[in-house]
Structures are given as structure tokens and as C-alpha cells.
Amino acid sequence: LVYEQHGEATAVVQLKNLEVPKLGDSDVHVKMLAAPINPADINMIQGTYPLLPPLPAVGGNEGVGEVLEVGHRVTALKPGDWVIPADSGFGTWRTRGLFPEKMLLKVPSDIPMLCAATLSVNPCTAFRVLADFESLAPGDSIIQNAANSGVGQAVIQIARASSIKTINVVRDRPDLPKLVERLMALGADHVVTEEMLRKPEMKDIFKSIPRPRLALNCVGGKSTTEMLRHLQPKGTMVTYGGMAKQPVMVPVSAFIFRDVRLRGFWMTQWRKDHAQDQESVAAMMDALCQLIRRGQLTAPACTEVPLQDYRAALEASMKPFVSSKQILLL
């Protein structure tokens, strides 16, 4: 799926037949199996993302493929291995591709395909924001908005596996009870709407669990300000997305009297910073794969779409209130 100019995804993305280049010494020939459509993929096509591949470009930053053939200098991979992108700007929306070995990470092929296809962005983001900003112990709590997003669902499950309580904020919607039920089934402790954040009933939640030391923000605007109120003094809020396209507004009193910390996180930057630190990357991937094998981390709610129906998948991924991730089957 190629785009030659930036613009609305459904208008500029086209399905094209391309030749696979000749295999080089350090190259790996990969048959892609499945690739999701993430918000960052759409932003790249629109030209609004901070990282843009040169045009023409193949869409998609995440997915899983099977190694078909390797160049004679390739040591870590062999035919039959499953691989995922080591970095973004990869172009996963294709049936086959030739990639340098260093652009690929091997993943176990005994985990479900949809878990592998959605492993390198959202679960990694969830893992890092939970691990890198506050040292959380069993019984501690966190609060997050956009709790039904891919990252939100992964945060709930990873926190649950470590006995960390989660307060999960979602937008009010027609099928709210169904969504609440689904998040509770994943291991959410509390699910509240943005409106409930400013109601006195919030105090009841803190009778049974401590106030959160960590807030995870993917929305911005009013939702963030309200969430911040419930943070412990000296707590940290990490912003990793801005779905409302509104700034993060913080009352001065939160800084002065409660000494809250505001941080930002971008998975792409973390990968750049740790490019020479393969131990950290391997430890994270191993921890996530262990959770998947134990049934403690599942793929987000997914809708599987054949590659030729890509336009419908792109349209569906841009609709509001969609809790199901579109996955292209390749």
C-alpha cells in the first residue's frame, strides 16, 4: 500500500504491484503476515507526524512477518522465523519485502499472530511508561485516560500482572456498559467517564485504593487537568499522545503546592536512545512475550481485514469511538 504524496489516507493510499529486489548479503526476504493500522500511520500519511519517510512510501509501522530467505551474512535469522520491525518508518502494509537484518527483531512464533502483529508499538509504550517514570510497587495505583486505546488496554493488563491498581478514564458513549465490562474483564479496577472525574463520588474510589502516583495522558485538554487533580503530591504525569489536539493545562497550584512532575514519552525516541543497548530491548520484548504466553497480555480488540479491502479498514480506523483495531491480513 503506497502513497506518493501526503493527504487524506483514503485518497492517497493505493494498492500497487512492485518487484521484490534481489537479495543482498545482509538482507532478509520477509513474507508479511499481518499489520495493524495505528493513529501514527494515518498521521504519517497526512504528513503531520514528526517522523516522515521519503516519498513514495509504503504505509504501516508495525506488523509481523515470516522469514523466507536470508543473505549469507545474516546470522541471527533463518527461514521460518517470525520478525517484527525494530524501528518505525518500516512500511509494513505489503505482502513481501526485503529488509536489512538490523531493521528486524525476532519474536517467538509460539505466540498468537495478532499479539505479534501488535507488539512493537502499544505494548512497548505501555511497558515503558509503567516502568520508567515512577517505581511502582504492588498495591500502588495509576490513572490513565483513553483507557480503551491499544496502549490503554496493554497498561491495564501489564499493571494487573504486577498487582498495580488502575483507574481508567473513557469518554461517555452509547455502548458504555459494554466497554466498561470489556475493560473490567481485562483487569481494570475502576472505569470512569471524563465527567465523573470531577464528581465527589471519586472520593469513594480512594477509600479502597491509594491515590495514583502516576497519570498517563493520551488525550490533552480538560481530561488531563481533571486527571491531574487526583494525582498524589510529587506524582508524575506522562503524556504520550494528544488525541483531543488541545494543550495540557495545569493549575499553578499543582506545581507549587503538590510539586507534580510533567513528562513526555515517545516510543520512537526511546528506540533511538537504546539503539546500542540491545539488552534493554531484548529484556522488554522477553517480558512482554512471557506475559502473552501466560495469557496475561492479549492483543487489543481487532477487526481482521483482507489487504484488498484496505480502504474500508482505513475509513474504520479514523471513526470516533472505535475500540477495535483494524488489522490488515497480508
Q: Write the DSSP assignment of 96-139 as a string of letters.
A: EEEEEGGGEEEE-TTS-HHHHHTSTTHHHHHHHHHHSSS---TT
* Model confidence pLDDT, tens digit, residues 169-207: 999 888 899 999 999 999 999 999 999 988 988 989 999
Handedness of CA 37, 40, 45, 46 (dihedral sign): positive
- In this prediction, residues 122-144 reach a mean pLDDT of 96
CATH 3.90.180.10 fits 2-118+299-329, yes or no: yes
With a CB cutoff of 8 Å and minimum separation 6, the contacts of 200 are: none
Q: Is the pLDDT of residue 243 over 90?
A: no
Q: Is 166 helix (H, G, I), strand (E, B) or coil?
A: strand
How far apart CA 34 and CA 195 sit, in angstroms, is 37
Q: Is the pLDDT of residue 97 over 70?
A: yes
pLDDT for the residue numbered 329: 95
* Interstrand relation of 141-144 and 214-217 (parallel, antiparallel or unpaired): parallel
Q: Is the pLDDT of residue 167 over 80?
A: yes
With a CB cutoff of 8 Å and minimum separation 6, the contacts of 50 are: none
With a CB cutoff of 8 Å and minimum separation 6, the contacts of 149 are: 122, 218, 241
Q: Is the pLDDT of residue 212 over 70?
A: yes
* Model confidence pLDDT, tens digit, residues 259-277: 999 999 999 899 999 988 8
Q: What is the separation, in whole angstroms, between the first and last Cα of the chain? A: 11
pLDDT for the residue numbered 322: 67
Which of 19-24's residues contact partners 24+ apart within 8 Å by CB, and which partners? 20/96, 20/97, 20/98, 21/98, 23/69, 23/70, 23/71, 23/98, 24/71, 24/98
- The domain spans of the chain are 2-118+299-329, 121-267
pLDDT for the residue numbered 7: 94
pLDDT band at residue 323 under the 50/70/90 scheme: low
Dig out the grid coordinates for 53 from the structure.
Answer: 519517510
Full-model pTM: 0.91
Q: Which amino acids are annotated catalytic? A: 49
User: 277: number of CA atoms within 13 Å, CB side?
Assistant: 9
Range of lowest pLDDT (26-30, 135-139, 279-283): 279-283
Q: What percent of the chain has pLDDT over 90?
A: 78
> What Å distances lie between residue 317 and 13, 88, 130, CA to CA?
14, 19, 26
Q: Give the CATH superfamily of 121-267.
A: NAD(P)-binding Rossmann-like Domain (3.40.50.720)
User: What average pLDDT is seen over the chain?
Assistant: 93
How far apart CA 182 and CA 192 sit, in angstroms, is 13
Q: Is the pLDDT of residue 159 over 80?
A: yes
How far apart CA 194 and CA 40 sit, in angstroms, is 24
Q: What percent of the chain has pLDDT over 70?
A: 99
Q: Is 327 helix (H, G, I), strand (E, B) or coil?
A: strand
* Model confidence pLDDT, tens digit, residues 34-78: 999 998 899 999 999 888 999 999 999 999 999 999 999 999 999
